[in-house]
């Protein structure tokens, strides 16, 4: 019997980084189980178009937009992630829809998405002072009920956390700070190797 897939989502840093396009291409080319969320709060639509157009077309089905969601159908992207900045799913959208939750109560109320982020599970790597909101007993009590294969852990996640996250019942994990400490091709390949080791 096949093991359930543990899904990996990589969220881009909010700012545009030198070498980011190359890093994303290495990541998507090296990890079949990976989706990328393009999250650029404050970006202009033209900047988002430039980022999407710079990525190899074959990866578009594995890309989700968190800003300028109207571009997703135009470019054949795979997903949208509505936020307070861009709350509306494009009209006639048939791709994936994901959402963010920050409490178990919010998770219980938000079940209409293809997958959900629950955060912060651990102390954030990228946001100073953004601390975990959940205890081990809380997460274990929610295993198999609120936390299931459609819920992905976010916030301070490193690959070595994957075995514990699977125990909690998460279907995947989203990484941000851990990935972007070194976005050189070599740095991204090291992250890929870590993910493969723990997945």
HEC letters along 61-125? HHEEECCCCCHHHHHCCCEECCCCCCCCCCCCCCCEEEEEECCHHHHHHCCCCCEEEECCCCCCC
* Secondary-structure class of domain 7-198 per CATH: alpha beta
Interior CA angle at 151 toward 15 and 188, to 5°? 40
Are the CB atoms for 133 and 102 separated by under 8 Å?
yes
Residue 78 burial by Cβ neighbours in a 10 Å radius (0-12, 13-18, 19+): middle
Task: Supply the pTM of this predicted model.
Answer: 0.94
- Give me the residues of the chain with pLDDT under 70, please: 1-3
> Would you list the DSSP string of 140-180?
HHHBTTTBSTTEEEESS--GGGHHHHHHHT-SEEEESTTTT
Are the CB atoms for 159 and 193 separated by under 8 Å?
no
- In sequence order, the 6+-apart residues with CB closer than 8 A to the CB of 24 are 10, 12, 36, 55, 59
Q: Where are the domains of the chain?
A: 7-198
**Tens digits of per-residue pLDDT, 68-98?**
999 999 999 999 999 999 999 999 999 999 9
Are the CB atoms for 171 and 6 separated by under 8 Å?
yes
Q: Residue 11: helix, strand or coil by DSSP?
A: strand
* Token duo for residue 76: 């054949």
At residue 16, the pLDDT reads 95
């Amino acid at each position: 019997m096949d093991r359930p897939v543990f899904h990996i989502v990589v969220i881009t840093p909010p700012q545009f980084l030198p070498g980011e396009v190359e890093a994303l291409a290495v990541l998507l080319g090296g990890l079949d189980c990976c989706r990328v969320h393009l999250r650029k709060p404050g970006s202009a639509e033209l900047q988002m178009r430039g980022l999407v157009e710079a990525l190899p077309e074959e990866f578009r089905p594995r890309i989700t937009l968190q800003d300028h969601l109207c571009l997703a159908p135009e470019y054949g992207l795979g997903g949208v992630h509505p936020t307070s900045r861009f709350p509306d799913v494009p009209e006639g959208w048939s791709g994936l829809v994901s959402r963010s939750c920050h409490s178990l109560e919010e998770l219980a109320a938000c079940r209409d998405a293809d997958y959900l982020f629950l955060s912060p599970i651990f102390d954030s790597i990228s946001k100073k002072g953004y601390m975990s909101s959940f205890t081990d007993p809380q997460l274990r009590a929610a295993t198999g009920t609120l936390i299931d294969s459609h819920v992905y852990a976010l916030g301070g996640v490193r690959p070595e956390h994957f075995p514990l996250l699977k125990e909690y019942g998460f279907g995947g994990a989203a990484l941000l700070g851990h990935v972007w400490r070194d976005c050189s091709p070599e740095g991204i390949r090291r992250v890929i190797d870590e993910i493969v080791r723990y997945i």
